[in-house]
Structure 1
């Protein structure tokens, strides 16, 4: 049997350990509560700074962000790629709005639009955009500009509301069958959840990411860009990473049994990034082979060629030395493509 003095000594040690653990738990809890309060206050300040009430439109009970500038018809409407806010179009919108009206918007879960957690589908996205434009008082005809997954969504919109559309620009657009036709390992990787988003999703509401200024390390804009601070503010929203995660899940729907619908004689410009993924092997998982990435590059070009063939009035341009984000790398190329469509529409 343990001597009573020894038992009391050990019991006292355990009590002190318990007290220390309780103190640490209290300190951590207070810090998290303080961080969460700071995060909520800062989010409210950011929204009042960057979001006008005129840019918020209710769609089926969900508040969505739409920013339109310029005057003239047709109106150019931009659809962003997966997980990216409408702010990425700022330079192109600024240029196009000198000629006609130009509208950018954030899908639900993204940017300044409300977070719902729902995975987007082509039909839902097309219907939501149509309702958004209608509720905002915007009117057809439209030229649709879609980047990446946004290209699938603008084609879905055209299939449902073809009488409203007079032209289209696709920027390194996704294809309705790409998940089924790309190399299996590549398609699985492209559609998989990114673990970093789960960590970010948990930390963001505590204010930790804002305090550490992680957004400044994540922006693709330089500090002298007019939208630099706003993009950091978007990143600092509590739902940012959860929203990106939900939006990226839309990629898993790209396994349609049939390809996209014909666009007939619709004026169409297809812009394809010339940079090859096989030239950037180190950016991919270690088990990815050079041969597989080369196969993926060939398939991507094949899919892009199919998109260009959707219209009998199309132009396919492979833009050399740019990444998937052509509109950020070389915005002037996109501006020229839009103005090309505008010229055709005006002449016709």
Structure 2
């Protein structure tokens, strides 16, 4: 096909080859096809129907790449992919609150959700600005595709990330990579179709752009540059996770709940000839490793206790996350199974701090004869669980979780503040990880419903002869009078209250001060050396149980037997 770059003053112009229809020409000699109004076929394909008509103006709406079947097919297929990806995105959004069957991840579902969001954005931008192809858009998308390919390789190659993400996370990042490649192919197809139609219908490819096309290219470029930055942050966070995966765990992980996820259990110390109970620590808002672990180590060295254990709750420390919803009762079942698989059978003295005291109380009520004492450190009362489960806190945790795979606070902390792997896994920076945020969101979602029910029930079936010590934070009591009254109420959990102490200058994490650590060690030493409980009959269980308001207890089942 001959190209024409100038329609005026050129001997080769198509206008020069058209027959002159002046006054000398007879009206009867005019071709009826040429004289008739152009219809859809003649308008779109003038050079095939009547070559004497000449070329269309480049601004004519008929000059469109959509005339080609391949371009229209690419457009429809992009729309189909967007619908399909949107369904996947919605499923992952739901999994942040309630895990659909088969969509469990052992890490954080926020990561898979981030990759699905990238896929949706790439396809939406491609579809919205489909008719305005651009080389800059293809270059930016190519960078995004390269970064996603790196993400895919790291996720599949590193054992820990592969374990945590499972098929859901790997599929999400692989799909995002495939969608980035497709958007490049689609844009290139439109570019080819646009050139083909311009050459066929106007005689030359159009190098100019209208104002609307410039706006479309600019907006799409900005959107894709944003996706490029997001993908770069996802890559940096994934690299940090891979580095953290090399941190050796002190204990061992055990599969629980039908091998759905693993719980990390660590025990230290020796069993003496005169058996003393093992102290089982339960952390508060932070993992046991962040503070209580050092206290437990010192207690063993000082001879206060002989042996201790702790298990990271799902989502904290080295433990996997669990499917949602996940209440205190579910956590107790997972802990019981993990301890059994580790060969740890008690008897136990339970030490529960803050929110973790709820878990210790539920565990105590379900393992009555194995519990030799209950030590609560500034415990949370079940009537105050609405503070944990407030809608505002839940929304903030959700928003933080959605942004957490970007590592906005974690990556700068590692690069400029020298944050170590220990700090990110269980230390002061652990709250920034997607896994920990998801665990907190799970706690918040069921705190005032399922977990509160578990706490109330545990109070109803708690063995009333279990020795009890409560140590409260003086600073917390001074700030909150309601907290003080609830601490007093928790001192009545059993009939065997040994002490209710107030550490005047200690914060909520009592062990952070010398006064608090000394008081905890003193009470713990006394508790582990109390005379062992004798076996309890079934009649005594019913007689000793203290029903909660509106709860009738006829019989308590523990370990499958009425006692």
Out of 94, 106, 109, the position equivalent to 2:297 is: 94
C-alpha contact 2:247 2:421 (8 A) present in aligned 1: no
1:157-212 deviation per Cα after TM superposition (whole angstroms, max 9, x unaligned): 22221122112211122234x14xxxxxxx64443142432222011112222223
Out of 41, 51, 65, the position equivalent to 2:239 is: 41
Aligned twin of 2:252 = 55
Aligned twin of 2:49 = none
> Could you say what secondary structure the match of 1:154 adopts?
helix
- Select the structure of larger CA radius of gyration: 2
1:107 aligns with 2:313: yes
**1:50: Cα distance to partner?**
4.2
C-alpha contact 1:158 1:165 (8 A) present in aligned 2: yes
Aligned twin of 2:520 = 334
Out of 205, 230, 235, the position equivalent to 2:431 is: 235
Structure 2 spans left out of the alignment, 5+ residues: 1-57, 60-208, 535-563
TM superposition score normalised by structure 2: 0.49
- What's the RMSD between the two structures over aligned residues? 3.5
For these two proteins, the number of residue pairs brought into alignment is: 312
Relative distance call for 1:120 and 1:69 in structure 2 (3 A) is same
- Within 5 Å, give how 1:1-348 maps onto structure 2: 12-51=210-249, 54-60=251-257, 61=259, 62-72=261-271, 73-81=276-284, 83-88=285-290, 89-98=292-301, 99-176=305-382, 178-179=383-384, 188-193=386-391, 194=393, 195-213=395-413, 228=423, 230=425, 231-232=427-428, 234-252=430-448, 253-254=451-452, 256=456, 259-276=459-476, 279=479, 293-294=480-481, 296-307=482-493, 310-329=494-513, 330-345=516-531
Relative distance call for 1:315 and 1:90 in structure 2 (3 A) is same
Structure 1 spans left out of the alignment, 5+ residues: 6-10, 180-186, 218-222, 280-292
What is the CA–CA distance in structure 2 between the aligned matches of 1:216 and 1:109, rounded to whole Å? 26
C-alpha contact 2:388 2:444 (8 A) present in aligned 1: no
Relative distance call for 1:270 and 1:298 in structure 2 (3 A) is closer
> Could you say what secondary structure the match of 2:409 adopts?
helix
> Could you say what secondary structure the match of 1:26 adopts?
helix
What is the CA–CA distance in structure 2 between the aligned matches of 1:224 and 1:28, rounded to whole Å? 27
C-alpha contact 1:277 1:297 (8 A) present in aligned 2: yes
> Could you say what secondary structure the match of 2:229 adopts?
helix
Relative distance call for 1:90 and 1:227 in structure 2 (3 A) is farther
TM superposition score normalised by structure 1: 0.77
> Could you say what secondary structure the match of 2:245 adopts?
helix
What is the CA–CA distance in structure 1 between the aligned matches of 2:421 and 2:512, rounded to whole Å? 14
What is the CA–CA distance in structure 1 between the aligned matches of 2:522 and 2:419, rounded to whole Å? 24
**1:78: Cα distance to partner?**
0.9
C-alpha contact 1:274 1:322 (8 A) present in aligned 2: yes
What is the CA–CA distance in structure 1 between the aligned matches of 2:406 and 2:386, rounded to whole Å? 32
1:54-95 deviation per Cα after TM superposition (whole angstroms, max 9, x unaligned): 5211112211122222222421111122x4222232222212
